[in-house]
């Protein structure tokens, strides 16, 4: 008589198979999770870069249309046309008159002239986060710029540092501030270029620095004489 061979797996073989399967599933899950996390980080960085690129392009476009005019009362404390850049530490402020306003409909009682201001403000939902705002007034006046009606947009969210620098062709150097309304060498005179530097600290990774320059097309103040 012959003895039949045993069929199936022993308990030890089953336990070893389960252990190997669990290890393979764990490795596969780790690979999938790492890939998904990397993909999310890349997409977040790309969205952030696009936001910064659009914001800086908008500022360059605004500054290229900046101007000042001599055809106004120079003795008033609030000028209708100006360029005032102030260095306030981490995030500076800049306001200037521009011809970059777009009139959207006829009979709007508006012109291309506008007052644009960039300034920081804490985020409404997260007070520890600083946003860079863009404010545009559709009509020029001799009133304080913050008291005039205007449209305010978040130009760039969660910024660490924004610095405006102004190139003075007379001194051949960059200045940290500029004011065309004061009685000094900058009065009624525009800088040749404006440099914009933005620093961002992402959630993961090193601090990122972005820089661009805008060339002022109308460097001399506008003067119109009538007989």
* Domain membership flag for residue 100: yes
Give the total number of structural domains in the chain: 1
Tell me the C-alpha distance between 213 and 56, whole Å: 9
Tell me the C-alpha distance between 187 and 79, whole Å: 12
**pLDDT for res 70:** 87
* Domain membership flag for residue 210: yes
pLDDT band at 104 (very low <50, low <70, confident <90, very high): low
| Torsion angle, alpha carbons of 158, 99, 138, 116, to 10 | 30
**Bigger pLDDT: 200 vs 101:** 200
* Domain membership flag for residue 1: no
Lookup: tokens for 7: 């069929």
**pLDDT for res 227:** 47
pTM: 0.77
* Domain membership flag for residue 107: yes
**Averaged pLDDT for residues 149-164:** 91
* Domain membership flag for residue 106: yes
Q: Are 95 and 84 in contact (CB under 8 A)?
A: yes
Q: What is the span of the domain harbouring residue 61?
A: 46-215
122 burial level (CB within 10 Å; 0-12, 13-18, 19+):
exposed
* Domain membership flag for residue 8: no
86 burial level (CB within 10 Å; 0-12, 13-18, 19+):
middle
* Domain membership flag for residue 176: yes
Tell me the C-alpha distance between 84 and 180, whole Å: 7
């Amino acid at each position: 008589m012959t003895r039949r061979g045993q069929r199936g797996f022993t308990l030890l073989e089953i336990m070893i198979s389960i252990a190997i399967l669990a290890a393979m599933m764990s490795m596969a899950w780790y690979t999938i999770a790492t890939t998904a996390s990397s993909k999310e980080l890349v997409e977040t960085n790309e969205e952030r870069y696009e936001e910064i690129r659009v914001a800086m392009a908008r500022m360059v476009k605004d500054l290229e249309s900046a101007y000042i005019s001599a055809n106004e009362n120079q003795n008033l404390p609030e000028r209708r046309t100006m360029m005032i850049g102030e260095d306030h530490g981490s995030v500076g402020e800049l306001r200037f008159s521009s011809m970059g306003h777009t009139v959207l409909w006829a009979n709007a009682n508006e012109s291309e002239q506008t007052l644009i201001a960039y300034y920081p403000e804490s985020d409404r939902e997260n007070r520890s986060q600083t946003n860079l705002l863009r404010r545009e007034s559709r009509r020029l006046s001799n009133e304080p710029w913050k008291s005039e009606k205007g449209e305010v947009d978040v130009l760039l969210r969660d910024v660490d540092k924004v610095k405006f620098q102004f190139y003075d062709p007379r001194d051949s150097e960059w200045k940290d501030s500029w004011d065309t309304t004061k009685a000094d060498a900058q009065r009624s005179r525009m800088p040749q270029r404006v440099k914009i530097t933005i620093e961002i600290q992402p959630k993961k990774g090193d601090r990122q620095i972005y820089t661009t320059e805008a060339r002022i097309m109308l460097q001399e103040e506008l003067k119109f004489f009538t007989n």
